[in-house]
Amino acid sequence: MNRFDPLLSHAATVKDRHILDLFAADPSRAESFSAEAGPFLFDYSKTNIDADGMALLLDLAAQTGVAARRDAMFSGEKINETEGRAVLHTAWRSVEDSILVDGANVMPALRDTRARMQEFAAAVREGRYNGQGGTITDVVNIGIGGSDLGPAMASLACAAFADGPKLHFVSNVDGAHIHDTLAGLDPETTLVVVASKTFTTIETMTNAESARRWMAEVVTEPAKQFAAISSATDRTATFGIPAERVFGFEDWVGGRYSVWSPIGLSLMIGIGPELFDQFLSGAAAMDAHFRTAPFAHNLPVLLALVGLWHNQVLGHATRAVLPYEQRLARLPAYLQQLEMESNGKRVAMDGSDLPYHSGPVVWGEPGTNGQHAFYQLIHQGTRVVPCEFIVTANGLEPDLDHQHLLLMANCLAQSEALLRGRSLAEATEIMRAKGLEGAELDRQARHRVFPGNRPSTTLMFDQLTPATLGGLIALYEHRVFVEGVVLGINSFDQWGVELGKELALALAPVLEGTSDGAGKDGSTLQLAARIRALRG
């Protein structure tokens, strides 16, 4: 027995029917299986969910206590139970004057830090804060995971609004990343922002030291061109960054939820404090919707329930996120961390084994590029991949509007093709018209059959602006939250990243030849030996 049993029983009776039949039986299906919040329309009618299935899903959300848990999160309760922390990234976009953690109001300190960020960002943009060579032309954000993916994704998404220094993002410990990023930059007009909540992450600290060495070759006092985003002020001081350029945030903001906090500093420098405020406002509007809308019309809840239906109920292990919006190219990578680091957990909050699957594998690429790469498998492969299309109605290039129209037509065509498919009879007719007959006609036609009946959802909004981007990210954050609550897991820790980090530290001496690696398996020792031999 587990919480998905009623849904599994229901699914067993309906899983083979065609989604098109649901449309035929209910002319208002598209409207009934859609919901709106602010600028967003979420259409989940091209799925095999019917009214009974939706009722069961909504029951599940009610029974697992999503509403109470949501309210606990927003009010600063320590719902991150394995780390004993509150979960309050929402405070960074909140308009409330008082949010309590351990009885203390966190808002005054937060607003103070944001005011310092705004002043610093404005000073960089207006040339009041300069490098040795004058006005800052380039900002290099060094961070990884949540200290990179959020601002990197958002900076690309807001590229049309960027009028500040050029932004660059370095994350990988691979020296090629920092090398290629710094090549061509002028150290005298570059600002380096070291973004690490803990200020211990090996990749970030190694890259920060490399950047400092690069700058020190030309700049007399490199520390003057460094800023830090971290809560570890002792470590930032040891690194040599003065307190006035250190922007901290509390441990109740998880790395992958931190783009609203000082981790968004590079974005703020790029688009300016006012547009950054709009980014926050868009997210705050989604927060308000999540807190107040009935679940049947609540976008984060609906996205979560559709996801649970596909993964835990129907057994589709992956979810493709397909933005028809080139500037959302990094959104799938961002969502990979958000969803998979949050909900890739095999035990429930109480430590018991999950009797159902954890969150899905999330992957994707922008359309239309993906159409010419992996959509083949989505349309004709043996596995069903639920697809999540994201599309804007208007581009930001009025003179290229005809291209945006084509983009949208492609998006709608893909979800239609997934739904409708092409039958053997249709394929046969097409091939017969081309002159084929007999066994060859049959063989060729079979290759051209699309099974159809493949589920997708579409999230549509007007235009990609800082405000809609904020709403979009908050929507996904809350969707992950709801999924986590229904699964009964802690979405806010990430113990699964620790083991590899520990082993990497222990392996470095084996690669250097200063440890024999006693106790390591044969494959690891063979690979280490080959590395030593190849490096001479």
Out of 339, 341, 477, 483, the active site residue is 341
**The dihedral of CA 198, 202, 204, 210: what is its sign?**
positive
- Please give the residue whose beta carbon sits closest to ligand F6P in the complex: 255
List the catalytic residue out of 217, 244, 372, 502: 372
Taking the least distance from each CB to ligand F6P, the nearer of 53 and 146 is 146
Phi, psi of 387, rounded to the nearest 5 degrees? -110, 140
Q: Does 204 bind ligand F6P (CB under 6 A)?
A: yes
Binding test (CB under 6 A) with ligand F6P, winner from 144, 156, 467, 510: 144
Q: Tokens at residue 419, please? A: 């739904």
Which helix (H) or strand (E) element contains residue 138? strand 138-142
Find all residues with CB under 8 Å of 105, minimum gap 6, and list them: 97, 98, 99
Contact present, 388 and 349 (Cβ < 8 Å): no
Site mask for ligand F6P (CB under 6 A), range 293-332, x = bound:
----------------------------------------
Q: Which of 146, 323, 386, 484 binds ligand F6P (CB under 6 A)?
A: 146
The residue from 130, 135, 198, 410 that contacts ligand F6P (CB under 6 A) is 198
Which CB, 39 or 143, lies closer to ligand F6P?
Answer: 143
For helices 466-487 and 149-157, give the axis angle rounded to 10 degrees. 140
In 326-446, beta strands by DSSP E: 361-363, 387-392
Q: Does 197 bind ligand F6P (CB under 6 A)?
A: yes
* Enclosing H/E stretch for 119: helix 107-126
Which residue among 196, 261, 458, 465 contacts ligand F6P (CB under 6 A)? 196
Nearer to ligand F6P, 149 or 445 (CB): 149
Q: Per CB under 6 A, does 256 bind ligand F6P?
A: yes
Q: How far is the CB of 247 from ligand F6P (least distance, A)?
A: 13
228 versus 467: smaller Cβ distance to ligand F6P = 228
Which range touches ligand F6P (CB under 6 A), out of 172-180, 195-203, 325-333, 347-355? Answer: 195-203
Q: What are phi and psi of 74, to 5 degrees?
A: -65, -25
Q: Six-digit token pair at 522?
A: 């044969």
Cα–Cα distances in angstroms (integers) from residue 41 to residues 187, 335, 367, in the given order: 45, 19, 19
Nearest to ligand F6P of 393, 505 (CB atom)? 505
Based on the residue annotation, tell me whether 372 is a catalytic residue of this protein.
yes
- Return the range that interacts with ligand F6P (CB under 6 A); candidates 68-76, 138-146, 175-183, 273-281: 138-146
* Number of residues forming the site for ligand F6P (CB under 6 A): 14
Q: Round to whole Å and give the CA distance between 528 and 493.
A: 32
AA letter at 437: E
Q: Using CA atoms in the order 461, 465, 467, 473, what is the torsion angle rounded to 10 degrees? A: 70
Shortest distance in whole angstroms from residue 148 CB to ligand F6P: 8
Residue 145 found at the interface with ligand F6P (CB under 6 A): yes
Q: Would you state the structure tokens that stand for residue 331, as one six-digit string?
A: 């959104």
Tell me if residue 404 is catalytic: no
The residue among 423, 425, 421 whose CA lies nearest residue 452 is 421
CA 391 to chain CA centroid, Å, is 16
Residues catalogued as catalytic = 341, 372, 501
Binding-site ranges for ligand F6P (CB under 6 A): 144-147, 196-198, 201, 204, 255-256, 341, 494, 497
